[in-house]
Chain A
Amino acid sequence: MIDFLSLIAGVLLVLMLMAVATKGWMGSRQLPDPVPGSSEGEPTEPCPKEFVSRVFSRGDWEFVHGLKSRGMERLFEHERKKVALVWVRQTSALVRNAIREHARAARQSKNLDFLGEISILAQFLILILSCRVLSIAIHIAGPVRLSGLAQFAQRLSQQVDRLQESLHGGVLAGASGTRAT
Chain B
Amino acid sequence: MDTPDKAVTVERAYDDLLRRSLSHISGDLARLIYLASTRDYNTGKYHHDGLAAHFQTEIACQALELAHRKTFYRVAGRSLEELVGELDLYVNSSRQNRDDVLQVWQKLEPYRVALPVNVDVVAAQLFVSNIKLALAILRQRLARELTAQAS
Question: B-contacting residues of A (Cβ < 8 Å)?
Answer: 32, 35-39, 43, 47-48, 50-52, 54-55, 57, 59-60, 63-64, 67, 69, 72, 75-76, 79-80, 82-83, 86-87, 90
Known contacts A67-B137, A76-B133, A86-B121, then 15 further A-B pairs from the complex at CB < 8 Å, ordered by chain A residue: A35-B112, A37-B117, A37-B119, A39-B119, A47-B123, A50-B77, A51-B122, A59-B80, A60-B80, A64-B137, A79-B129, A80-B129, A82-B129, A86-B125, A90-B121
Contact across chains for B79 and A87 when beta carbons are under 8 A apart? no
Check if B120 is an interface residue, CB within 8 A of chain A: yes
Check if B128 is an interface residue, CB within 8 A of chain A: yes
Main secondary structure, interface of B, reads: helix
Check if B115 is an interface residue, CB within 8 A of chain A: yes
Main secondary structure, interface of A, reads: helix
Contact across chains for A37 and B124 when beta carbons are under 8 A apart? yes
CB pairs A–B below 8 angstroms (20 shown): A35-B115, A35-B125, A35-B128, A37-B112, A39-B118, A39-B119, A47-B120, A50-B77, A51-B77, A54-B77, A59-B79, A59-B81, A60-B81, A63-B80, A67-B140, A75-B132, A82-B125, A83-B122, A86-B122, A86-B125
Return the contact of A75 from the options B113, B126, B136 (Cβ within 8 A): B136
Distance of A62 from chain B, by nearest CB (Å): 9
| B116 closest partner in A (C-beta) | A37
Contact across chains for A36 and B123 when beta carbons are under 8 A apart? no
Question: A-contacting residues of B (Cβ < 8 Å)?
Answer: 73, 76-77, 79-81, 112-113, 115-126, 128-130, 132-133, 136-137, 140
* A50-B77, A54-B79, A59-B79 known; A83 vs B119 contact (CB < 8 Å): no
Question: Using Cβ atoms and an 8 Å threshold, which residues of chain A touch B137?
Answer: 64, 67, 72
Cα distance A36–B126 when bound, in Å?
Answer: 13
| B84 closest partner in A (C-beta) | A63
Contact across chains for B121 and A64 when beta carbons are under 8 A apart? no
Question: Using Cβ atoms and an 8 Å threshold, which residues of chain B touch A59?
Answer: 79-81
| B136 closest partner in A (C-beta) | A75
Q: Which 6 pairs, one residue from A and one from B, show the smallest C-beta to C-beta distance?
A: A37-B115, A38-B124, A38-B121, A60-B80, A47-B122, A79-B129
Contact across chains for B133 and A35 when beta carbons are under 8 A apart? no
Question: Using Cβ atoms and an 8 Å threshold, which residues of chain A touch B112?
Answer: 35-37
